[in-house]
């Protein structure tokens, strides 16, 4: 696969682009030293960062940079080459920058990443092999995109993943195979989608799961088809098992909620029955 990509690049040609960094230390990353990209534009594929500009904070160098943030810029495609300048980077964020597509070749030289944030963009599709080289990734955020479907096993290589955030997309269903290999997962956000049903087997092997947000979907309470499918999952908090689109489904949601509360004392459900009644109208 890599040899094929290399041959294609020889034909197409890789163009160089400039990266201008505003170097800052951020409190929200325990004092991490990051490159905050300025005046960044990537409007075509096969672009590689070949020059770097920006003044470091005193006593800091490229080796101290652990994160790159491209925020509110124009990055329709993911460029290559950051790793050449910042060998110790672990976090990469492209936020609100019109990113349209990501594919495996965009990430194959970033296998050392632990955090990848692609929030507030225009991504509408994920290919099955997109993250196959990201074996060290611990947190993946795809919030506020336009993703309609998740291929089976799209996260199969992410065996160290602890946080997955796919909220505020356009998902209408999720296969129980999607998280089959992600047994380290602790946090899962699927709120603000169009989900009406989730096969509860998806949670059965997620033994480390602590937090699930399923709020603001069509009628997410009805996803609990069988209590036993929660297996050994130690879910501590499920936020807002909303059932607010069809009044006749309210009783089913209420029954499932009561079963969960009765049978699983590790669950600390935020919502009360009166909230369900309020949502159901």
pLDDT tens string 199-223: 777 877 888 888 888 888 876 544 4
Is the pLDDT at 245 greater than 90? The verdict is no
For 176, residues 6+ apart whose C-beta sits below 8 A from its C-beta are 199, 201, 202
Alpha-carbon distance 164 to 142, whole Å? 8
pLDDT tens string 68-85: 999 999 999 999 999 999
pLDDT tens string 41-50: 999 988 999 9
pLDDT tens string 111-123: 999 999 999 999 9
pLDDT of residue 176: 84
Is the pLDDT at 242 greater than 60? The verdict is no
pLDDT of residue 65: 97
Q: Are 53 and 63 in contact (CB under 8 A)?
A: no
Alpha-carbon distance 257 to 241, whole Å? 8
- Tokens 């050994």 correspond to 232
pLDDT of residue 276: 35
pLDDT of residue 231: 47
Q: Are 90 and 63 in contact (CB under 8 A)?
A: no
Average pLDDT over residues 125-148: 97
CATH number for region 124-281: 3.80.10.10
pLDDT of residue 235: 60
3-state class (DSSP) for residue 280: helix
Residues of the chain with CATH 3.80.10.10: 124-281
Is the pLDDT at 274 greater than 70? The verdict is no
pLDDT of residue 216: 81
């Amino acid at each position: 696969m890599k040899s094929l990509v290399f041959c294609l690049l020889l034909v197409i040609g890789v163009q160089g682009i400039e990266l201008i960094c505003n170097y800052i230390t951020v409190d929200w990353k325990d004092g991490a030293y990051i490159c905050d990209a300025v005046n960044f534009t990537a409007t075509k594929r096969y672009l590689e960062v070949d020059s770097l500009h920006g003044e470091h904070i005193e006593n800091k160098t490229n080796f101290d940079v652990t994160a790159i943030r491209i925020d509110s810029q124009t990055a329709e495609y993911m460029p290559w080459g950051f790793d050449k300048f910042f060998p110790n980077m672990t976090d990469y964020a492209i936020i609100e920058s019109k990113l349209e597509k990501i594919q495996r070749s965009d990430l194959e030289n970033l296998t050392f990443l632990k955090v990848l944030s692609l929030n507030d963009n225009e991504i509408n599709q994920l290919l099955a092999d997109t993250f196959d080289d990201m074996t060290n990734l611990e947190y993946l955020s795809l919030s506020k995109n336009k993703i309609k479907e998740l291929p089976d096993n799209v996260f199969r290589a992410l065996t160290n993943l602890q946080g997955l955030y796919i909220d505020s997309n356009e998902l209408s269903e999720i296969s129980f195979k999607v998280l089959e290999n992600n047994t380290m997962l602790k946090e899962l956000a699927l709120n603000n989608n169009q989900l009406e049903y989730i096969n509860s087997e998806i949670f059965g092997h997620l033994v480390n799961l602590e937090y699930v947000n399923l709020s603001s979907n069509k009628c997410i309470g009805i996803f609990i088809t069988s209590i036993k499918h929660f297996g050994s999952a130690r879910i501590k908090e499920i936020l807002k098992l909303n059932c607010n689109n069809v009044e006749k489904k309210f009783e089913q949601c209420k029954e499932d909620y009561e079963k969960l509360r009765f049978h699983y004392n590790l669950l600390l459900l935020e919502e009360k029955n009166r909230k369900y009644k309020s949502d159901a109208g």
